[in-house]
Structure 1
């Protein structure tokens, strides 16, 4: 065990006596798995606590929380490392379990566990959930059964779990983990016909969302539609991988995808860990955080609700993907723009852009821009495919500067170099598109 973690757990057990606890976590897989681990840990300690899930932990939210819960111990997970200055004047004891780099000085009332504190572990593989698990395990060996929750978060990393020191330690504590070589299409436990048609990661041209395309692939590989991935032998798996690679390798793309399948026992069934991760993310993304956490902790009522949310989301996503593929595109030098208008919900545009950005239909360096209407607004999301010197967030900032003065709140750009998005008034569509095309063309000239 790590001394820093052990010291933090001993301190927590001492200072939390007769203290109410405020647990704050974030949305998404990392936030949900962190929350689930700590909720179960606190329940087993019979601690009195309340839980808050937030999209982003900013200074305003922190000050509101500290003011409202003055005589309370705080635990922040998957957040807080970048907000250290906000805690320096507080009298509350605060524990922060966050994998990200810290910003600011650590005050006496703060105990921080992040990759800087756990220097012997690689920051690339260390997740906030793994920190929460190490803390929980240090409190009691009875919490080893929570290791499987931490490993769900690790699925975000493309490396196999066995190649990571921290993940190897966590895997060693899991009794019901099964690992199989192959291609990581999920769910690996469902019939091939279904998983191929609904495969978005990886996206398979001519197969994803295409029933006849699925049948054609299965026929040429001589595979039964009713078989699952975990049923395939080595030769069958090889034929499937080859067929997918052929469909993915165009325009200089080299097909690449995880080669390990991870299965966990959940609700007395073997379930694909990647599907569990995606299901949790979908529930959280749609604001069903309590369902996500209850599902992770094995509540049977939450299972049916989570599966209902997840199934509907995947069906709508595949439907939206078909619409996006069939929508007339604006093709320029180094960019492609598609507007699904009111045919696709604006909540799916970001995911559709992300999926299509892995398609070999587009050359490396292409900027892919998706648009969708939401009443009198337009949601815009963009991705850059592969490596590039372009900065997508800066391009969007320049593009919307023309009408930012009029609708400042609606035209703030989010994202980073390779991914950006914004929302604006529908009547600004024409001006936006003209400015965007000009700015994208300028970037090509610069290159």
Structure 2
């Protein structure tokens, strides 16, 4: 999840437990522009993510940066060298809505998506202009904030866009044309609070895939809209039973993460108030914070929860349904849900250290933490992980926003390299942040 100075859900507690050092920009070539390869070939791949386009600019995370995003898209379109533009998730935001607001305003998702397009007309028009020209392939990969938005509804506002989707709703991995060693996905597949959950709450909301991070975000946005605020309630204390079963211990960890999050983002409502308006993805009616928060009726007694009952026990099955190649231990997944380092670790484990994977470059979004990290795979070959960052107005995770990645693939020349470069567009100036390269 993300944190609410610009929350978009990967941070209950401030991110930044970095596992490796990023390769900074000492060797960045400032003589060639970000979208210029110095020749005539159209081969460059631009990756951006986490645009977080909302239907209402009163609370949308991307507002002040919309004009800059539109300008950059026009620069990308004008480039004779860009071959592909990939939007790696969280393009449209169905999560970042205050808890007490009816997301669809009594209508449906199709209408909601059209409202996003109208609210962000300049950006949508710029994307459609690129798509319509048919010189640059534009690809969308689902993220968690647009988890339930259907392919048809994306197509309705961006006709002709390529969509890299798994068979299962809300997931996708993209391999750029002629670049089979590169994988691009949002990264939420590996996050306990953000990965699709087709197991929980089926008795309450048949067919739902919304994970608990959805409810966290709705509450956190309410905090953003209400602050400064005097908390009306505090999370109840749960006493851990030293002799508890593994399942109960995991549910305690789940409660602990939730309690820290709610303490960090207090709201002016009691936890038993039915303030969370749903009517989304199978959910009907309103819910209270207490419906989501694990509870204990007697100190040291059994811990229980209403929504997401048994979620600590279904993680292995959930990962299988979501095609996670290397299963992540549930305790690690719960405790690491708010750490950018966990996403970085999964890029390594799922791709570079996975004997069944031949990928050498992996690009994620999701964490809002733009960086480039080099490592090696099981055979000692150099690999590169990059995170494309975010375009939200205020990034509480990293000092920069409006970031993107540019990949320039190698050619047949044995000395050529595949370059991965990270930039930001702050102050509407393309500024190099980091780069690295490999040959595969």
Shorter chain as denominator, the TM-score bin is: under 0.3
Q: Relative CO higher for 1 or 2, CA cutoff 8 Å, sep ≥ 6?
A: 2
Q: Which has the larger Rg?
A: 1
Compute the TM-score of the two structures, normalised by the length of structure 1.
Answer: 0.24
Q: Which has the higher helix share?
A: 1
Report the TM-score, using the length of structure 2 for normalisation.
0.25
